[in-house]
Amino acid sequence: MSRTIIKKATIKTVGINAKELLQQNRDAQIAAGATAETVKDYRAVVALFCGTVNRIEDKIHAEFGRAAKFLGNFGVRNLITNDDFVSGQMYLPDIAADILEGAFNANNKESVNFVFRIGISQDKASSVGYVFFCEPVGKMESPLDHLLNQANPNPATAPVAAPVADNAAKPKKAAK
């Protein structure tokens, strides 16, 4: 499987255009016999974002406001085309960025591993006609926690060291 290296991972840079998806959904439903009034709203998971966040930088964009720039090691799969991408920088939709930023800060700004399903949901109340949604997969954890959990996935069944009795024979001091 090949992966394309990209400068920054975003919904747009991995080839997903929300407005086009909404229009394609509408056109397909109308072609199948739906009327403009009976077209169902679009909602679908469109990408998997995963990786390890090592650092977060705040970026201010004149048009879009504040954005969190995540730095680390990231992989993205476009679920529409099944294309894979890798990058050292990532920008996420606000809903996902807030979740990831919270986990990073809760982990004392240490590295955090994550997997998110990112989706698009039609929303006529939104100024752009859609909103993003985020579904975390599993729990977010530090790389060390991840390795420890892989080594011992069920700590409750781990062998326990035998207790040492208080009156156990202690080594005798050497004679003087």
Closest residue by Cα to residue 115 from 94, 141, 89: 141
The confidence score (pLDDT) of residue 58 equals 82
Closest residue by Cα to residue 73 from 97, 58, 55, 94: 55
Q: Where are the domains of the chain?
A: 3-145
Any alpha helices (H) in 6-141, and if so which ranges?
Answer: 18-31, 94-106
The confidence score (pLDDT) of residue 141 equals 66
Q: Answer whether residue 154 shows pLDDT above 60.
A: yes
Give the number of C-alpha atoms closer than 13 A to the C-alpha of residue 168, restricted to the C-beta side.
6
The confidence score (pLDDT) of residue 16 equals 95
State the Cα–Cα distance between residues 65 and 124, nearest whole angstrom: 22
Q: Which residues pair with 58 in a beta bridge?
A: 68
Q: What's the pLDDT tens digit per position in 132-152? A: 999 999 876 666 666 666 676
Concatenated DSSP letters of 119-171: EEEE-TTSTTSEEEEEEE-S--B-HHHHHHHHH-S-GGGS--PPPPPTTPPPP
Cβ–Cβ < 8 Å for 91, 67: yes
Cβ–Cβ < 8 Å for 77, 66: no
Q: What's the pLDDT tens digit per position in 28-86? A: 999 999 888 888 888 899 999 999 999 999 876 656 667 889 999 999 999 999 999 99
pLDDT band at 121, cuts 50/70/90?
Answer: very high
The confidence score (pLDDT) of residue 166 equals 56
Percent of the chain with pLDDT over 70: 75
State the Cα–Cα distance between residues 144 and 89, nearest whole angstrom: 21
Task: Count the helices and strands in the chain (H runs, E runs).
Answer: 3, 6
